[in-house]
Amino acid sequence: MAMSNLKAKLLEKIEAHRPRTTKLNKEFGNVVIDKVNIGQCIGGARDIRSLVTDISYLDPFEGIRFRGKTIPETFAALPKVPGKEQPFVEGFFWFLLTGEVPTMAQTQEVVADWKSRSAIPAYVIDVLRAMPRDSHPMTMLSAAVLTMQRDSVFAKKYGEGGLKKNDMWDPMYEDSMNLLAKLPPIAAYIYRMKYKSDIHIAPDANLDWGGNFAHMMGVAPPYDELARMYFILHSDHESGNVSAHTTHLVASALSDAYYSFSAGLNGLAGPLHGLANQEVLGWIQNVMKKLNNKVPTKEELEKFLWDTLNSGQVIPGYGHAVLRKTDPRYVAQNEYSKKHLPNDPMFQLVNMIYEVAPGVLTKHGKTKNPWPNVDAHSGVIQWYYGVREWDFYTVLFGVGRALGVLANITWDRGLGYAIERPKSVTTDMLEQWAKDGGRKGAED
């Protein structure tokens, strides 16, 4: 079979890039870029520069750039779905993978490619149906991904022997493309099975990846526009966040894309990471319920925020491990909402929280970043369009996150990144080094 344009372009990019990585590793491997302190050892390796990715970069004050472009620049540059305002997710994936903005023809090629790979194997449906119906939809998504591992091209090629290190990106790419193509129909299947009387909607061959997802969910336009924007916004946030890092870590053992991404999803399911979007909605609903569904005053809201903090909980959707300002992914969703749902009471409440919460969190004095992240906004828009089963929201995050992390692990194999293995120390050692004012032999 002839190599697709995307795959040929990726090969060209990997081959051009590989000597840079090899040279850095061989000739400059000893150049020191960071020191590590005890706080970072205990505190989740925060801020230690020890991962490499060229797909996105998160600046603490500017926010995310995908392949060097800000969020508004990315949306402006990519080919749009005809008659719509949002870009093709397929074109965005081309951009993530190659660093080049695709033409409409190149984008359409990925649209057709994903369509040809999108059929869900019957055994995936069997597995999903065998699970208790009240399983969390993230558990179902992760299980569905893991089940498909039997079809991994990488595992098969590796098992046959003779797969060279420089060729490993190829089956990783094939697995990633197969997995990406199947994720929207699988997610929509989980949604309809759990919440819509198990009545399913067949894909529409005329629709793109994002449009088809909205169609299979059974939600009318402009939900398709939201889906495209949402998946792009949630795709990548450099490599250190839990879902991206887990996917990369597992793939570093030469586990295939199914094993790796399923593991990443399990990390995304945590309340401090992707589950926060579900928790935000729960929190907002709780506030409104306590006030008989009326929008609170600022004073009432301030009290709810303090009650949450004083009960030892975090304010979901606020704070970030790297960002030190309002998340531009929050801003993008806010702009969208101003246009599409300006009078929605929950949207107004989101805006009011934005006015009150940073002050409360600053006074509380713990978090390094009192500003909202991506999760503070996303649930409210889903709710507006009638997707009100909020335990499903992290699945949407997971489908979007696949774009970034699968592009990353394909490049990991292209550049031959090593198996990950940081070194641990004991508490005794830390106490000794604390007493000594540092570890003897550590570089200054």
Ligand X SMILES: CC(C)(COP(=O)(O)OP(=O)(O)OC[C@H]1O[C@@H](n2cnc3c(N)ncnc32)[C@H](O)[C@@H]1OP(=O)(O)O)[C@@H](O)C(=O)NCCC(=O)NCCS
Query: What is the separation, in whole angstroms, between the first and last Cα of the chain?
Result: 55
Q: Is 363 in the site for ligand X (CB under 6 A)?
A: no
Is 245 assigned a catalytic role? no
Judge whether 169 and 154 are in contact, CB under 8 Å.
no
**CB-nearer residue toward ligand X: 120 or 229:** 229
Query: Which region, judged by CB under 6 A, interacts with ligand X, from 18-26, 83-91, 292-300, 366-374?
Result: 366-374
Q: Is 79 in the site for ligand X (CB under 6 A)?
A: no
Q: What track of x and - describes contact with ligand X for positions 169 through 188 (by CB under 6 A)?
A: --------------------
Q: Give residue number: closest CB to ligand X.
A: 319
Q: Please, which residues have CB within 8 angstroms of residue 437's CB and are 6 or more apart in sequence?
A: none
**CB-nearer residue toward ligand X: 87 or 317:** 317
Q: Is 314 in the site for ligand X (CB under 6 A)?
A: yes
Q: Is 144 in the site for ligand X (CB under 6 A)?
A: no
Number of residues that bind ligand X (CB under 6 A): 20
* Binding to ligand X, residues 372-391 (CB under 6 A): 373-375
Catalytic residue, chosen from 237, 245, 248, 273, is: 273
Q: Is 354 in the site for ligand X (CB under 6 A)?
A: no
Q: What track of x and - describes contact with ligand X for positions 23 through 52 (by CB under 6 A)?
A: -----------------------x------
Is 436 assigned a catalytic role? no
Q: Please, how many CA atoms are within 13 Å of residue 151, restricted to the half-sphere of its CB?
A: 19
Is 444 assigned a catalytic role? no
Q: What track of x and - describes contact with ligand X for positions 257 through 296 (by CB under 6 A)?
A: ---------------xx--x--------------------
Catalytic residue, chosen from 215, 237, 245, 320, is: 320
Q: Is 367 in the site for ligand X (CB under 6 A)?
A: yes
**CB-nearer residue toward ligand X: 338 or 368:** 368
Q: What track of x and - describes contact with ligand X for positions 320 through 339 (by CB under 6 A)?
A: xx------------------
What does the alpha-carbon distance between residue 315 and residue 163 come to, in Å, rounded to a whole number?
A: 48
Minimum CB–partner distance for residue 23 and ligand X (Å): 34
Judge whether 329 and 373 are in contact, CB under 8 Å.
yes
What does the alpha-carbon distance between residue 238 and residue 379 come to, in Å, rounded to a whole number?
A: 23
Query: Which region, judged by CB under 6 A, interacts with ligand X, from 14-22, 103-111, 112-120, 316-324?
Result: 316-324
3-state secondary structure 366-406: CCCCCCECCHHHHHHHHHHCCCCCHHHHHHHHHHHHHHHHH
DSSP code string of 93-131: HHHHHHSSPPPHHHHHHHHHHHHHT-PPPHHHHHHHHHS
What pairs with residue 65 in β-bridges? 57
The torsion angles phi and psi of 319, rounded to 5 degrees, stand at 95, 160
Judge whether 209 and 182 are in contact, CB under 8 Å.
no
Judge whether 272 and 367 are in contact, CB under 8 Å.
no
Longest Cα pair distance anywhere in the chain, in angstroms?
68
Residues with a catalytic annotation lie at 273, 320, 375
Binding site for ligand X (CB under 6 A): 46, 272-273, 276, 309, 314-321, 366-369, 373-375
